[in-house]
Amino acid sequence: MKTRMRRAVTALVVLSLMLLAPPAASAGETADYPEFPYPDTGYTEPYRGQFHFSPRSGWMNDINAPLYYKGTYHLFYQHNPHGLSWDTMHWGHATSTDLVHWVQKPVALEPGVHPGDLWSGGGVVDSRNTSGLRTGTEDPIVLFTGTNGVRIAYSNDAGRTFQSYDDGRPVVTPAGTSRDAKVFWHQPSQRWVMVVWSDSGGNGVDLYTSDNLLDWTYRSRFAADWLYECPDLYPLPVDGDPANVKWVLNDAEGEYVVGDFDGLEFTTDWTAPQRMDQGRTTFGDGTFYAGLTFTHTPGDRIVQMAWMPSNKGSVWSGSATVPAELGLRSSGAGLRLTREPVTELTSLRSTTSSWYDRTLTTDPASDPLAGVSADTYEIEAEFDLTGATATRFGFDLHARSDGTEDRRVLYDRAAQTLYGAPLSPVDGRVRMRLLVDRGQLEIFGNDGTLSFSDNVDFDSSTGSRGIRLRAEGGSVKLVSLKLHHLGSAWGTGESTLESNLAGPWSPVGGTWTDTAGGKRGTATGDAFHLSEQTATDFTYEGDLRILNGTAAALTFRANTDATQHYSATIDTNGLLKLWRPGKTIATHPTTIEPGRTYHLRITAQGPRIRIHLNNNPTPAIDTTDSTYTTGHLGINTFNGTSEFQNIRLNKTGFCTNVAAGWNAVGGNWSDTAGGKRGTATGDAFHL
């Protein structure tokens, strides 16, 4: 709900939600969230970005609480999982290990489970446990949300589930209408800082500090007419110099000013803001809004993602920009913020074609891209304007043989604009970088001096994938041109299946769905879900539960269609079985009950295969078979429905899906390669 004209509507919506909201439930259990699992998707719908994040289904708007914790980037966002328009706000959640490959997770904050109207906010990792909220080995992840009062939700299991602090009592209540708390650690003052938008006396932000994230002290207010909601405040070195750091304050529309922050007050001598991105900021057809920077990023990089409102499809509405690293650069007009795609995006490059030192004219024969076809790609180009006579030059994207295209990106030499936005040459040259996705177009000029985020419904059919490099009214020197084909970022992870196996996973028969308990498979005969991971000698383990029907298994050394494999199977007929197609290799009689979870661990060394049941140190099956020596790892269900969790390859230590916060009651407890070890003279418990 992000435009000035919608403020009155916002108030009515909030009132309606307050009147209709059910009583608050106990917080934090994923099983309480009725919106999960999401409908399955291969992310191949028309206009679905292949390297831009969008929710599997439903509506998304503002970016919330982007943060980094123990090798994982967490992206939260405003979310309506029930439809394709703004409605009752949830916090959606996705994770990535590289800022590129995102995996949708269960809803993080749920109305009725977590108190308040769960609108935009920020989040931090309390690595020092200043809040005292830690109950186990994981650092608390603390989120800030709500309107007209800031509420806290926190996680002690690395972001899997969240509970409300103090039953949702606001910890800060600014005057007037308020929302969108951003929190960060201020190293010089060794305190937490909160920046909250409010309209008390006009647009502006209130600044608070805290030693513990729970008790906050008002410090100052920065007022500005232009500063409307979703504030962000962060330091940037000028021209990369760590000895010269300035602070940037921006709002939801990407308007910003540069100044100083002493831990208590933000000051600036700027009289008017600049825009960091030239995209549209309107609610219905906007392309850039409510950007927020990640907290705790390695190397202290300032990385931002923003909402792209007008990317829409059959099952989703809204996407995010590619993560961009922000910088602060000196220019003739003063300090200016820069935005450039994160370097991790290069991991998607499959093939690259390059051209150098060409003269581009109005003659199509001078176009080096003649005959080139691409669907999702990146263009890097540099032009020398010395002696240029062309009035405009640039690219036709998704061009067709009839001379039409889906979008034209041109530099106007006289106006000094790229795509209609100002861009002056640097040393007589213009550099362009274009990211072309199926529903998104992001344009960067002169190393991030210009950023322009747009949504374009590109036609990805075979006859509409041409690219043309064109010059109008004369010639221009092409210094260099690189075309990188970009692959899809989807399908490498599983939403609820805890696993260290490489994705993507592929179903072979049956129906496979994400549930709060893990991965669920249903079939009338055999069905497999195979990972991209292959292995020869290994330890492979996981938790299996037959919900109804006959059997569930861990599958290994399989080919891609599972016509060849080994499977270690628990069977309700009363046995543990190792088999391959056409042969039962070994069995072990044991009672297998539907609804009960069993842990299998397989050790394969050459032809020798050992299977341990429920962490028994003695293998239930110890046999040999040399038919298959290597192949894919996966899971299998037979004649019914089974659920799988904690699928691990060569994993040492104690594996469990029980939330963090284990406490010893007597005895000595230690971590070993085999799991958790307890020693006691009498009774001892680990709870």
pLDDT tens digits along 140-155: 999 999 999 999 999 9
| pLDDT over 70 (residue 498) | yes
Distance separating alpha carbons of residues 685 and 665, to the nearest angstrom = 5
Range of the structural domain that residue 475 is part of = 345-486
**602 and 461 assigned to the same domain:** no
| Pair (195, 108) in one structural domain | yes
Residue from 32, 40, 62, 180 carrying the catalytic annotation: 62
Measure the CA–CA gap between 135 and 132, rounded to whole angstroms: 8
Cα atoms in the 13 Å half-sphere on the side-chain side of 400: 12
> Which of helix, strand or coil describes residue 665?
strand
What pLDDT digit, counting tens, does each position of 338-372 carry? 999 999 999 999 999 999 999 999 999 999 999 99
What pLDDT, in 10s, does the model give residues 650-663? Answer: 987 666 655 445 66
Average pLDDT over residues 487-498: 90
Is 494 contained in some domain? Answer: no
CA atoms within 13 A on the CB side of 245: 12
Banded model confidence at residue 501, pLDDT cuts 50, 70, 90: very high
pLDDT digits (tens, 9 = 90+) for 230-278: 999 999 999 999 999 999 999 999 999 999 999 999 999 999 999 999 9
Q: Does the pLDDT value for residue 26 go beyond 60?
A: no
Same domain flag for 337 and 355: no
Inter-CA distances, 161 with 35, 157, 268, 658, Å: 14, 7, 40, 11
Query: d(Cα 562, Cα 557) in Å, to the nearest integer?
Result: 9
**One domain for residues 327 and 350:** no
Please answer whether residues 177 and 15 qualify as being in contact, where contact means their C-beta atoms are separated by less than 8 angstroms.
no
Q: In this structure, are 36 and 92 located in the same domain?
A: yes
Is residue 329 located within the same domain as residue 384?
no
Say if 365 falls within a structural domain.
Answer: yes
Q: Per-residue pLDDT tens for 195-243?
A: 999 999 999 999 999 999 999 999 999 999 999 999 999 999 999 999 9
Any domain includes 561: yes
Give the closest residue to 56 by CA, choosing from 439, 315, 308. Answer: 315
Q: What is the CATH number of the domain that holds 373?
A: 2.60.120.560
Tell whether 639 and 583 lie within a shared domain: yes
State the Cα angle at 35 between 32 and 36, rounded to 5°. Answer: 80
Residues linked to residue 618 through DSSP beta bridges, in sequence order = none
Residues 257 and 116 in one domain: yes
Q: What is the pLDDT of residues 55-104, one digit of tens each?
A: 999 999 999 999 999 999 999 999 999 999 999 999 999 999 999 999 99
62 part of the active site: yes
pLDDT at 649: 96
Domain closes at, from 341, 373, 395 = 341
Q: For residue 517, name the pLDDT band (cuts at 50, 70, 90).
A: confident
pLDDT score recorded for residue 117: 93
The backbone torsions φ and ψ at residue 166, rounded to the nearest 5 degrees and listed phi first, read 55, 40
458 lies in the same domain as 432: yes
55: nearest Cα among 99, 100, 89, 106:
106
In a domain, 500, yes or no: no
- pLDDT, position 588: 98
**CA pair distance 238, 336, nearest whole angstrom:** 9
User: What contacts 236, CB < 8 A, 6 or more positions away?
Assistant: 245, 246, 247, 248, 302, 326, 327, 328, 337
Residue 491, domain member (yes or no) = no
- Amino acid 274 reads Q
Considering the domain architecture, whether residues 476 and 568 belong to the same structural domain is answered as no
Domain final position from 320, 341, 362: 341
Task: Give the end of a domain, one of 486, 514, 548.
Answer: 486
Any domain includes 52? no
Are residues 104 and 178 both part of a single domain? yes
User: Given a cut of 60, is residue 182 above it in pLDDT?
Assistant: yes
Domains: count for the chain: 4
CA distance 399 to 458: 10
Averaged pLDDT of the chain? 92
CA angle 531, 536, 540 (to 5 degrees): 60
Same domain, 276 and 300: yes
* Calpha distance 229→252 (Å, rounded): 6
Reply yes or no on whether the pLDDT at 638 is more than 90: yes
Q: What is the pLDDT of residue 8?
A: 36
Cβ(213)–Cβ(192) under 8 Å? yes
Q: Where are the beta strands (DSSP E) in 281-370?
A: 289-293, 303-312, 316-320, 324-331, 334-341, 349-360
Q: Please tell me the predicted confidence (pLDDT) of residue 289.
A: 98
* pLDDT for position 682: 83
Find the helix or strand (DSSP H, E) in which 672 lies.
Answer: strand 668-672
Decide if 566 is inside a domain: yes
Residue 180 backbone zone (phi > 0: left; psi -120 to 50: alpha; other: beta): left
Three-state SS string across 434-503, please? EEECCCEEEEEECCCCEEEEEECCCCCCHHHCEEEEEEECCCEEEEEEEEEEECCCCCCCCCCCCECCCC
Residue 254's domain is classified under what CATH number?
2.115.10.20
Whether residue 492 lies inside any domain: the answer is no
Amino acid at 564: Q
**What is the spatial distance between Cα 171 and Cα 149, in angstroms, rounded to a whole number?**
7
